[in-house]
Amino acid sequence: MESYDVVTLPAKKKYKARVRRIPVFVEHPKIIPVNDTLDAIGPISLQRITSKKDREEWKAYIQTYHYLGYKHPVGVHIGYFIVSEARKQKLGCLIFTASAAWTLAPRDELIGWDKKHRQKLLHLIISNNRFLIFPWVKVSNLASH
């Protein structure tokens, strides 16, 4: 329509794409190898990431040691450190996101959802976006625990 002089459009705005900073360690954490049994390092707890300092450290661990690196999650998400209570030591990282696929027939069939239930309850489904046990942690069955 603009080429036929029906309307005049404003000039295109040029936006510079936002570049996300790649998380890195300001100071690398002290690495203490763990080569023990689950009983020896337990109980295991999840420490929720709440402070900016923890969040930056958590991102740097994922970026440095996870094979996919860190990508800013889409939608609602929550991160955790996996912690050995006995050793007071971080063993890994987790992130859960609530950006579940809108329709996933096998999941919906397994759960027993029809379209109405899926629309009402989909926000309750989360997915494990990243799971990392640090490379220096060698504990049998830790991941499944």
| Residue 94 falls inside a structural domain | yes
Provide, rounded to the nearest whole percent, the portion of the chain with pLDDT above 90.
Answer: 43
Reported residue count of the chain is 145
Is 76 within a domain?
A: yes
* Sheet containing 77-84, strands listed edge to edge, beginning at the edge strand earlier in sequence: 44-48, 77-84, 89-97, 127-133
Q: Which domain holds residue 112?
A: 30-133
What is the per-residue pLDDT across 113-136, written as a single tens digit (0 to 9) for each? 887 877 788 777 778 889 999 999
Q: What is the pLDDT of residues 31-52, one digit of tens each?
A: 899 999 999 998 999 999 999 9
- pLDDT tens digit string along 65-104? 999 988 888 778 899 999 999 999 999 999 988 765 666 7
Domain count, the chain: 1
- 142 lies in a domain? no
Tokens 């830790």 label which residue?
142
Residues 6+ apart with CB under 8 A from 117: none
Can you give the pLDDT at residue 99? 62
Cα-Cα end-to-end distance for the chain: 63
Using the predicted structure, report yes or no on whether residue 22 has a pLDDT greater than 70. yes
Is 15 within a domain? Answer: no
Q: Answer yes or no: is 143 within a domain.
A: no
